[in-house]
Amino acid sequence: MLYQITRLIISVYFTLYHRLSVSGKEKIPQDIPVIVASNHASYLDPPLVGYTFCPRVLKFVAWEKLFKFPLFGAYLRRMGAVPVKPEDKNSSAALLRMIMGFIHDGYSVYICPEGHRTEDGTLQPLEGGVAILSLKTGAPVVPAWAGGTYRAMSPHMKFPRPRKLYVVYGEPISLSQIPQELNEKEKRKYILDKIEEFYREMDAKDREKYPR
């Protein structure tokens, strides 16, 4: 019930305040866990992508301190968030094990391959964790573009502005399409290159429509 109420509130907010639009959702594989790999320009990205992924739930990690407020912590857990301690946040291996556990339990997960929010609106280099997760679990990667979030709420803003937001889901990247003659390192690069190719295509279209 809490999830449905939250979804209704977020729906009103994103639809009326940000004129949200979604495309490509039909590309997401059904009935299997997937890794949704989104760009990261704002605090709006996780709830935005999570909402458009409904009715399925996305698991994601969040800073432990956010859970110290009992009611808010309980709320975050119901929304699919899992607290991460500073020592785990700084340990790639610990995070990978945690997220692999979600996938093995049948959950789809939300990942930001850039690792952190962009400070100036430009794309950041992609980290390899998302590719490792896909190769180790077999879950396909679905690249997602959260458009407009930097304009609506960049890291330098305290409150979101009423800017147009949109989410575009790209073609899934499955293990079956990776050339088998590639070694492990080359397979990771193949996945990351596909994600970056999608990001750069979407970023170019965004900049053309909304010049900065």
Write out pLDDT tens, residues 10-39.
Answer: 889 999 999 999 999 999 999 999 999 999
As for how many domains the chain has, the answer is: 1
Check: CB of residue 43 under 8 Å from CB of residue 37: no
Question: How much is the pLDDT for 55?
Answer: 85
- Domain range for residue 64? 2-209
Q: Is the pTM of this model over 0.85?
A: yes
The full 3-state SS of 89-153, as one line of letters, equals HCCHHHHHHHHHHHHHCCCEEEECCCCCCCCCCCCCCCCCHHHHHHHHHCCCEEEEEEECHHHHC
Residue for token pair 């935005």 = 48
pLDDT confidence of residue 192: 98
User: What is the structure's pLDDT at 115?
Assistant: 82
Q: What is the pLDDT of residue 9?
A: 82
Q: What is the CATH number of the domain that holds 193?
A: 3.40.1130.10
Residues of the chain predicted below pLDDT 70: 1-3, 62-63, 65-67, 69-80, 85-92
Count CA atoms closer than 13 A to 29's CA, side-chain side. 18
Specify which residues 36 forms β-bridges with.
110, 142
Give the residue among 177, 107, 172 at the shortest CA–CA distance from 144: 172
Question: According to the model, what pLDDT value does residue 10 have?
Answer: 83
CA angle 11, 104, 8 (to 5 degrees): 10
What one-character DSSP code corresponds to residue 15? I
Strand order in the sheet with 58-63: 21-23, 166-169, 141-147, 35-38, 108-111, 58-63, 81-84
